[in-house]
């Protein structure tokens, strides 16, 4: 299990099972490629150059100019590189992998940056803006982009797996940079009280996920993702009031 796979299960069981079986592959997501572009810039120049070479046709127009999303990404990269505190938060070993067994399941994580001397780790996130609110059924309240996109859950899992792997408790941070012009930025920490809710939530969800993954339960379609839209078969009508609840 990984955090990305866990998020996928929570989003749509049917799509995730189809992906694991190799019968469905999600189409390329340009926003994800832009995010990977920003991440690569903070690994090392060789990897960044390799990423640009591999995605040259996506990054550059025929006239050699970068597409708007990647020109904007360059501004985001410069915004962080010119901020001493942001760079301090991302100091450490890059792309470190840890594994551990937790809740009876083997987990694998990859950390953007981990600083062993100061015992903290950080994850770089790109976002639309810092202050948007989203209603969350999981939390039963409005939340920030951090909870909305599962980043708090991600940091909680990373913290736990690092602890189980090393015997040491590391402090997580998110380094966020926005897609605004000019970009905004923040280094985000978490109150200790937030982690226990995430751990309880994951433990409650895992039994169902493992049963579906092992073929012991039928996967449920979310009805909204690209996989569900592609495989959808109509069997009747819906009343207009149902539209906002489906």
For residue 29, the model assigns a pLDDT of: 82
Strands 171-178, 120-127: pairing kind? parallel
CB 100 within 8 A of CB 108: no
Q: What is the mean pLDDT of the chain?
A: 95
Architecture of domain 3-244: Alpha-Beta Complex (3.90)
For residue 46, the model assigns a pLDDT of: 87
pLDDT exceeds cutoff 80 at 246: no
How many whole angstroms separate alpha carbon 111 and alpha carbon 98?
Answer: 8
Question: What is the pLDDT averaged over residues 25-38?
Answer: 88
The 10 Å CB-count burial string (b at 16+, else e) for 150-177 is: bbbbbbbbbbbbbeebeeeebebbbbbb
The domains of the chain are located at 3-244
Residue partners of 199: CB distance under 8 A and separation at least 6: 156, 160
| DSSP code, position 241 | G
For residue 125, the model assigns a pLDDT of: 97
pLDDT digits (tens, 9 = 90+) for 94-151: 999 999 999 999 999 999 999 999 999 999 999 999 999 999 999 999 999 999 999 9
pLDDT band at 156 (very low <50, low <70, confident <90, very high): very high
**Percent share of the chain, pLDDT over 90:** 89
Instruction: Tell me the residue length of the chain.
Output: 246
Whether cis (ω within 30° of 0) applies to the bond prior to 182 is: yes
For residue 47, the model assigns a pLDDT of: 87
Torsion over CA: 154, 157, 161, 162 (sign) = positive
Poorest-pLDDT segment among 83-92, 158-167, 179-188, 229-238? 229-238
pLDDT digits (tens, 9 = 90+) for 163-217: 999 999 999 999 999 999 999 999 999 999 999 999 999 999 999 999 999 999 9
CB 197 within 8 A of CB 180: no
């Amino acid at each position: 299990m990984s955090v990305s796979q866990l998020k996928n299960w929570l989003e749509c069981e049917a799509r995730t099972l189809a992906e694991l079986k190799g019968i469905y592959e999600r189409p390329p997501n340009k926003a994800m490629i832009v995010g990977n572009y920003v991440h690569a810039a903070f690994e090392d120049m060789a990897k960044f150059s390799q990423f640009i070479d591999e995605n040259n046709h996506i990054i550059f127009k025929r006239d050699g100019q970068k597409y708007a999303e990647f020109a904007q990404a360059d501004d985001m990269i410069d915004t962080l590189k010119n901020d001493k505190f942001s760079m301090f938060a991302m100091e450490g070993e890059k792309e470190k992998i840890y594994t551990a067994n937790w809740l009876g399941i083997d987990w694998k994580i990859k950390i953007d940056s981990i600083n062993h001397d100061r015992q903290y780790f950080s994850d770089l996130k790109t976002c639309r803006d810092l202050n948007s609110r989203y209603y969350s059924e999981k939390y039963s309240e409005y939340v920030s982009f951090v909870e909305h996109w599962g980043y708090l859950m991600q940091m909680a899992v990373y913290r736990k797996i690092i602890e189980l792997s090393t015997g040491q408790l590391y402090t997580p941070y998110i380094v966020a940079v926005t897609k605004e012009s000019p970009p905004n930025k923040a280094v985000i920490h978490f109150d200790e009280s937030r982690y226990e809710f995430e751990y309880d939530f994951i433990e409650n969800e895992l039994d169902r996920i493992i049963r579906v993954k092992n073929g012991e339960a039928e996967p449920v379609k979310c009805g909204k993702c690209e996989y569900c839209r592609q495989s959808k078969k109509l069997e009747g009508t819906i009343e207009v009031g149902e539209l906002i609840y489906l």
